[in-house]
Structure 1
Amino acid sequence: MNDQFDDELDNDNNEEEEDFAKLLESYDEGMNEEIQVGDKIKGKIIEIGMDSVFINTGTKVDGVVEKKELCNDDGEFPYVKGDELDLYVVYSSESEIRLSKALSGESGEQALYDAQKNKIPVDGKVTEVCKGGFRVEIMKKSAFCPLSQMDLKFVTKPEDFVGNTYRFMISRIEENGRNIVVSRRNFMEMDLKDARNQFLKDLAVDVILEGHIIKLMDFGAFVELFPGIEGMIHISELSWSRIDHPKEVVKEGEPVKVKVIKVEKQDSKNKLKIALSLKQAGGDPWDTAIEKFVIGDMIKGRVTRCLDFGAFVEIAPGIEGLVHISEMSYTKRVNKAQEVVNP
């Protein structure tokens, strides 16, 4: 009897050991052991301490980031447990993983080399405009940012950047740290890469998008749809009414809602040519014309064209009606529309 009991106990223990081994194996499979300095990770906040915030890194070791680094401009900590953050690995060992939004402060010269090698962003304050670009203070050292590397688009007012703090990537370090070249553009492109890819993935004909006018030309208007991604509205797609120049409808800097009407690859550079329509984003005015205009209504309009048999009058954007010469006067005979009206 005792032998039978011992056998059953051994079987139970073996089953428990197997179950534990399976759980451990399952846990290990979910771990990412390939994490390295310079990696950008997305992790959930698992604990918020007085000075530190602990992050689930997807490995057996939780990451830690200084709490003050995550505070907003007002010094407030805007996160709660469970929120996801994008952070960079700045130190990694078997027992510790340190995380950061970017390198800053007096981290030392070696930290600059580490940031360049591992492609970790650094915080820098633009101190002045200089020949060809900007002077930027990074970790108590002076760096140079070329004009073309300060933004994704062409910089027209360099002075607007002075006094502001941004994130940069270190492009080059020479002369033992005395000659440092940085790029904000590289950081912005890296930071926007995933979002940009998702935007391009979702881009399709008939999609309605929001953007803002960045440039007006005689033939149309250019719209920034996403940082570094532009589309064009041909003048014929700006309004249902006839216009002579885009400035009659829109102005630079104005936010607009547009409809994508064509997407095609441009030449061999794998760039996209995106055709947009402002007028179609608001719908066809003829769809609601019957509801707006009823026989017998007195309405005002603008004469757009005169022909021998009458005049065309725009009574709403994109909607024109014809006034026949026989309907132009009850008191005299009209031979040409121009005798009574003109565009």
Structure 2
Amino acid sequence: MSDSQMEQSFAEMFEASEMEMKPDLRVGDRIKGRVITVSEEMVYVDTGTKSDGVIEKQELLDKDGVFALREGDEVELFVVAVQGGQIRLAKALSGEGGLEQLRQAMEEGIPVEGKIKETCKGGFRVRILDKTAFCPLSQVDRRPVDDPEALVGESMSFLITKVEERGRNIVVSRRALLDRELVETLAEFLEKASVGDLLQGTVSRLAPFGAFVELAPSLEGLVHVSELGWSRNVSPEDVVAVGDQVTVKLLKVDDQGKGIRLELSMKQAMEDPWSRLADEVQVGAKLSGRVTNLAPFGAFMEIAPGIEGLVHVSEMSYLKRVHKPGDMVAVGDSVSVMIKSIDPQTRRIALSMRDAEGDPWDGVAERFKKGQVVQGTMEKREKFGMFVRLEPGIVGLLPNSRLERAEDEAYAKAKPGEVLPVVVDVVDGDKRRISLALPGVEQNEDWRGHTAQETAPMGSLGEQLKKAMEKREE
């Protein structure tokens, strides 16, 4: 081989070598690489090409100013320069930059670091690459901003959306960057998660209709208020708080053209409370229930998380006749109840408020004896007599036939609420009836009859009549 041929061969080999070493990355490319080496000031990253990338260690500090990466950890960065076979990486463009660098960042979609200097009409003035840009209020976040002034002084990454008038009109958007990151995060999430999976998340915010749970950075799903738990008629703040770690079930991935929505459930990630019903409640038990709903026929009450029973209107009180459940309880009230029956098959539980308080007629015959004088409260008059309350839930009847014999006009003129002395005559606990008499009237009649028998002579006709009456009574 001649010298000229050898020189040509070496030249071709050198050129081929240069081609092999030339990286196939361009400025603006986003790469995912693993940390190879960490020096005192720099971090070297495997870019997946012939050349490794390098980034300043300072740029990879976390929010607490700590460098937490280790060799082998994966990082996501942007290519900001390719010079002499070296690939410079960064999280975003920052520092001073010219018009060309601004346009390059816009065309390549490279994030730029910016600091919000002040608010202005319609948005914010942001300092980027030593220039002032405008960020519309609607473009600073994916959610509405309630207090724009609170963002002044904050440093964050933006995408440049417009560069005009030789750099005098620059428009940036943080929302566009967040949307782009969300699309990538969602794609990665859907590669690993499927409908029906149980997932771990963090409650990120609350709304009247439910709780949002963050499943991955900036990726939220909604737990509707009906799916927060087995209990009904609760507010999100009654169940969870922002920052809570929760387990959720992925119910649905809904794409309606305006972005994908994730529907989640905390309830379906929990055990069905009816599966442990026997350990929670038993027939005859007295406990406290929370009124969850009212119906014309009664009140529904939660007696354990996710377990409800019904207090029928007829089971609300022994003391009075209840026509509407709302006359006794309201939604949210805590009420003592007794469990009357449980049907696990139909998931129905019958409850009683009146039995929890106790039947006032229990032991009534021991408390009220025949001939006992009691101070009663007049309740109402009927055509057959006057009802008198002896104690809460215990009402007796003073018949008209006895009222007519009253010598005291107080009984004839008595109004509801007035207190009158009455005598217990007949007590029937089974039929819940008490017959009353007037004090002294029957006693006086007996006394007068007894005196007449002693002072008036009885003739033969009188003796026969007396015997006939006695025989009739027998």
- Specify the TM-score bucket, using the shorter chain as the normaliser: 0.7 to 0.9
Report whether the alignment pairs 1:142 with 2:132. Answer: yes
Going from structure 1 to structure 2, the CA distance change for 1:205 and 1:53 (only over 3 Å counts) comes to closer
Amino acid at match of 1:155: V
**Residue 34 of structure 1: SS of its match in structure 2?**
coil
CA contact (8 A) 1:307 1:337 kept: no
Partner residue, 2:112:
122
CA contact (8 A) 1:212 1:224 kept: yes
If the length of structure 2 is used for normalisation, what is the TM-score?
Answer: 0.55
Q: How does 1:270-285 map to 2 (within 5 A)?
A: 271-272=259-260, 274-285=262-273
Q: For the residues of structure 2 that align with 1:337 and 1:222, how far apart are their CA atoms?
A: 39
Structure 2 unaligned regions, length at least 5? 1-19, 331-474
Q: How does 1:191-202 map to 2 (within 5 A)?
A: 191-201=181-191, 202=193
How far is 1:298 from its partner? 3.5
Report whether the alignment pairs 1:204 with 2:195. Answer: yes
Report whether the alignment pairs 1:300 with 2:288. Answer: yes
Report whether the alignment pairs 1:54 with 2:44. Answer: yes
Going from structure 1 to structure 2, the CA distance change for 1:129 and 1:224 (only over 3 Å counts) comes to farther
CA contact (8 A) 2:23 2:51 kept: no
CA contact (8 A) 2:36 2:72 kept: yes
Q: For the residues of structure 2 that align with 1:294 and 1:287, how far apart are their CA atoms?
A: 14
Amino acid at match of 1:314: E
Q: For the residues of structure 2 that align with 1:70 and 1:203, how far apart are their CA atoms?
A: 33
How far is 1:251 from its partner? 8.0
Report whether the alignment pairs 1:155 with 2:166. Answer: no
How far is 1:70 from its partner? 2.1
Residue of structure 1 aligned with 2:102, choices 84, 109, 112: 112
CA contact (8 A) 1:135 1:144 kept: yes
CA contact (8 A) 2:221 2:263 kept: no
How far is 1:158 from its partner? 1.3
Amino acid at match of 2:308: E
How far is 1:213 from its partner? 6.7
Q: For the residues of structure 1 that align with 2:183 and 2:263, how far apart are their CA atoms?
A: 23
Report whether the alignment pairs 1:223 with 2:225. Answer: no
Report whether the alignment pairs 1:96 with 2:86. Answer: yes
Going from structure 1 to structure 2, the CA distance change for 1:60 and 1:156 (only over 3 Å counts) comes to same
Deviation digits for residues 144-174 of structure 1, max 9, x if unmatched?
1111111112222212211110011111111
**Residue 143 of structure 1: SS of its match in structure 2?**
strand
Structure 1 unaligned regions, length at least 5? 1-27
Q: For the residues of structure 1 that align with 2:26 and 2:186, how far apart are their CA atoms?
A: 25
Q: Could you say which structure has the greater relative contact order, defined with CA pairs below 8 angstroms and 6 or more residues apart? A: 1
**Residue 44 of structure 2: SS of its match in structure 1?**
strand
Amino acid at match of 1:143: A
What is the CA RMSD across the aligned residues, in angstroms?
A: 3.6
Partner residue, 2:156:
166
Matched residues, number: 306
If the length of structure 1 is used for normalisation, what is the TM-score?
Answer: 0.73
Q: For the residues of structure 2 that align with 1:32 and 1:98, how far apart are their CA atoms?
A: 14
**Residue 289 of structure 1: SS of its match in structure 2?**
helix
How far is 1:69 from its partner? 2.0
Partner residue, 2:279:
291
CA contact (8 A) 2:203 2:240 kept: no
Q: For the residues of structure 2 that align with 1:333 and 1:67, how far apart are their CA atoms?
A: 79
Q: For the residues of structure 1 that align with 2:138 and 2:296, how far apart are their CA atoms?
A: 58
Going from structure 1 to structure 2, the CA distance change for 1:314 and 1:63 (only over 3 Å counts) comes to closer
Amino acid at match of 1:147: L
Q: For the residues of structure 1 that align with 2:267 and 2:189, how far apart are their CA atoms?
A: 23
